[in-house]
Chains A and B, each alone.
Chain A
Amino acid sequence: MIEGILIGLSTALSLTNILMVMVGCFAGTIIGMLPGLGPMTAIALMIPITYGFDPSTGLILMAGVYYGAVFGGSTSSILLNAPGIPGTVATAFDGYPMAQQGKAGKALAIAAYSSFAGGTISAVFLLVAAPSLSKVSLAFRSPDYFALMILGLTAISAFSSKGQFLKAMMMVVLGLMLATVGQDSLSDITRFTFNNMNLTDGISFVLIVMATFAMSEALTIIFRGKDPNRAAKQISLTELGSIKVNKEETIKMAKTIPRSSILGFLIGVLPGAGATIASFLAYGMERNYVNEEEKQKFGKGSVHGLSAPETANNAACSGSFVPLLTLGIPGSGTTAVMLGALLGFGIQPGPRLYQTNPEIFWSVIMSMYIGMVVLLILNLPLIPYIARILAVPRNYLIPLILFFSVTGIYLMSFNNFDIFLMIGIAVIATFLRLYDFPMPPLILAFVLGGLMEETLRRSLLISDGSPNFLWDRPITLIILLITITIVGWQIFSTFRKKN
């Protein structure tokens, strides 16, 4: 492991890669800060730029963007009460009241320190957990992988559906359907192309991400522009107050950070859960841990209440890399985007990545830590200036997002069919978003579609077409039982709400 850490450090600490982490963190912070735009959009917008780099550098840039976007999301939560991403909603509960009390600078500093500590602790966990789990996952066979993907898709649907599980599952099926367009990987038979040559190679992953996230989010912001409840609130960005944290506040943070880091990391490892669930659970857990006097401060600017979700959401980000790096199966929408980018580089993440491409495996892990340091030393002093981004009018912001989306697609194919297709999918996605049809399950399903068909093919060929492969192996059976439990729980909660 020491050798791997050194390989990772030597790659991550090259001048180019340090520069990429800095650029990534900075760009991610700016994009993540804008309400409505999250890490998935930020990473998607970066994909075309990474084409010019080697895989390690490209991934390091994207990891920087990921952390930057999560941090940026906290900034808009605290300053505007308008979370940039769902994972920072809980940050606003105590961060925004602090900002209203004239302590915005302090709230941002607490968020930054907590994010740094949460990210650092979980990067250490990742360092230990990922290689061990890689070895365990070598025992996984096709039926286990197939079951694991079913579990991942069910879990992300359960967690991202806001109580509307069926809608999320429909998005999963839609994502899988889109993944089947084009040439079948084994037989070369074309499917669902309707004799259109442009569809022979299938629909590009970048196109789907750009359409359902970057472009559709931009259109949604414009669409809801007249909504008085969603209009951006004007705040004074010049009076953020001091960013100094006193001794009493440091002690409070020191108590909160370890438990929230552990919880955040564990939640992040679970397929489908991620930063949003982690931050809410950490907030709830912290409220139960503190004394009665502190409990009364929750929702009114509590240091514990701000530190807990911020620590947990960053810890969950690191945790979500565990299934991606060790099993090749992303646990969240954001890591699904990163998997798509990895596949674009010709790298198949999974248990063998650790052996075949150790420099990528370790450099991603090490760059996460470097990203944390960069976020702290670069972004914190720049907060008063970066915060001014929030004042950029949407008249400029939206066209620029559309510009980056179209450029990304144009760079890939130099063909306008893909741009038309992207606009069409983005319009449909915008209407689906209006009625709470979640997009992350669609992306995860689209990314996993090819792999899922392949593992199902192998499993059915091994079992000669019999469904026995679903219960022949204990691992497969256990994973499927967990999936059934999640589905059962969703049905039970629906009926419980009814009664």
Chain B
Amino acid sequence: MRISPTKFISLLFLVLSVFYLYTAYNIQVFAFDENAPFNARTFPIYLGWAGIILSSLKIILPEKITTEVNHKHLDYKSIIYLIIISLIYAAVILKIGYFISTSLFLFASYYFLGERRWGLMFVLSFPFVAAFMYLLHGLLNIYLRDPFLKYIGVMG
């Protein structure tokens, strides 16, 4: 039996709702709140049941409008590269600082999306991020934490 992607997503949502409901019933409330008309569990419990009912209906009822996605037309390669670069960026931003990590992230993203004009790629990464940091930190007075630039004495 072939299950449509929409029904598969609804099945995942059903599992999520069951888990959410189970967790909701296990929320620790104060003893005096146990039998109150409303406590920290009440709203999540309603939501859990609503999720179960809606996703079950979506799974059970026949689909009138089916959403077809042609996977051959989807650019999986570029998106996987971008997600990996973003994850590396998130992992190193605190260690090597905002300026270097963001500039490298932009440079790598341009490269993996097929850009090869090195000069333009450089201008739109390192100087661009520096100008943006100056706009935020210098002109708008928005604090931008960068331990590396602070260490080398560029930022206060």
Contact = CB atoms under 8 A, between A and B. Distances in A.
29 contacts: A48-B142, A49-B142, A163-B65, A164-B67, A184-B40, A189-B28, A189-B29, A191-B44, A192-B23, A192-B44, A219-B79, A222-B113, A226-B72, A395-B113, A395-B115, A396-B124, A403-B105, A403-B106, A406-B86, A410-B98, A416-B90, A416-B91, A423-B86, A423-B90, A430-B79, A434-B67, A435-B5, A452-B43, A456-B42
Interface of B is mostly: helix
Nearest to A409: B90
Contacts of B87: 420, 423
A176 B65 contact: no
A180 interface: yes
A463 B37 CA distance: 9
Contact of A164 (B37, B65, B73): B65
B64 interface: yes
Interface string B4-29: 01100110010011001001100111
Interface residues of A, number: 69
A173 B6 CA distance: 17
A431 B6 CA distance: 11
Contacts of A357: none
Contact of B58 (A49, A170, A411, A419): A170
A346 B73 CA distance: 45
B140 interface: yes
Contact of A180 (B17, B33, B43): B43
Nearest to A231: B73
B2 to A, nearest CB: 15
B145 interface: yes
B149 interface: no
B138 to A, nearest CB: 12
Interface of B: 5-6, 9-10, 13, 16-17, 20, 23-24, 27-30, 33, 37-40, 42-44, 47, 50-51, 54-55, 57-58, 61-62, 64-65, 67, 69-70, 72-76, 78-79, 82-83, 86-87, 89-91, 93-94, 98, 102, 105-106, 109-110, 113-115, 124, 129, 132, 136, 140-142, 144-145
A421 to B, nearest CB: 9
A446 interface: no
Contacts of B74: 223-224, 226-227, 434
A170 B51 contact: yes
B140 A49 contact: yes
B73 A226 contact: yes
Contacts of B5: 435
